[in-house]
Amino acid sequence: MTDSIDRAPPLRFDVVSLFPDFFTSPLQSGLIGKALTRRIAEVNITNPRDFTTDKHHRVDDEPYGGGVGMVMKPDPIFAAVESLPQLPRRQVILLTPQGEPMGQALLHHLAEDCDQVVLICGHYEGVDERVSHLLTREVSLGDFVLTCGEIPALALMNGVIRLLPGTVGKPDSLHQDSFQTGLLDYPHYTRPAEFRGWAVPEVLRSGNHEAIAAWRRQQQIDRTKARRPDLYERWLQEPR
């Protein structure tokens, strides 16, 4: 028997994917696998190919207007999404390079304000534009193109599930993540105290918690300024 967290019901993910097997190993591994076993969240995979009506079970066709590649047909996607239950607080998301960038604020919103998240994984040259009538938002993993939408869908589920109560053993660690305060995370060190001539900063071995906190805060600021000047400028504009 598995124990469960007092979150009733679990956050439901419905993934519309042509390749259900893609998710098998990642969703059985590590903290995410444990969270699903404990019913903190649940993931259901629906294959739009199962909703095709032609003898070849086609889910794609040539684009109107010409051009290279194929486009995912709207009818199997509509049928797949419409076959799903509809929970009260529901988001239907298409994973696409044209969407809003996936960020920590979005992950928090889905973790805290949703009962159900439907993820549509695109393929080929894209998805028929009429699928947009099903959507509440479009989300991108970044400014690059992948072979499929399953990769960003998996990233989104991972990011959301780790925020749900009970997934991470020490919830306080979530408050120190990169992007939680608008800054990147500070450097982390563990034993040995010296490795190949590189020593752990003395302040971290001092036992002075106030000095350690000040050092870590400054490291966050310096690291963000050097590595992500865009985030740093945004952080400077935030009210203190």
User: pLDDT digit string (tens) for 117-134?
Assistant: 999 999 989 999 999 999
Which residue is catalytic, options 125, 128, 185, 222? 125
Q: What does the pLDDT read at residue 4?
A: 43
Mean pLDDT score, 8-15: 93
Pairing relationship of beta strands 116-121 and 11-16 according to DSSP bridges: parallel
Please give the domain boundaries of the chain with CATH numbers for all domains. 11-161 (3.40.1280.10), 178-237 (1.10.1270.20)
* Confidence category of residue 1, pLDDT binned at 50, 70, 90: very low
Distance CA 24, CA 15 (A): 12
Residue 106 has pLDDT above 80, yes or no: yes
Which residue is catalytic, options 62, 177, 202, 233? 177
In 3-state terms the chain splits into helix, strand, coil percentages (rounded to 5) of 40, 20, 45
The whole-chain average pLDDT of the chain stands at 93
Distance CA 58, CA 213 (A): 58
Which residue is catalytic, options 7, 60, 97, 222? 97
Distance CA 7, CA 161 (A): 12
Mean pLDDT score, 36-63: 97
Tell me the pLDDT tens digit for each residue of 163-211.
Answer: 999 999 766 666 666 566 889 999 999 999 999 999 999 999 999 999 9
Query: Is there a catalytic annotation at residue 162?
Result: yes
Count Cβ atoms within 10 A of the Cβ of residue 1 and give its class: 0-12 exposed, 13-18 middle, 19 or more buried.
exposed
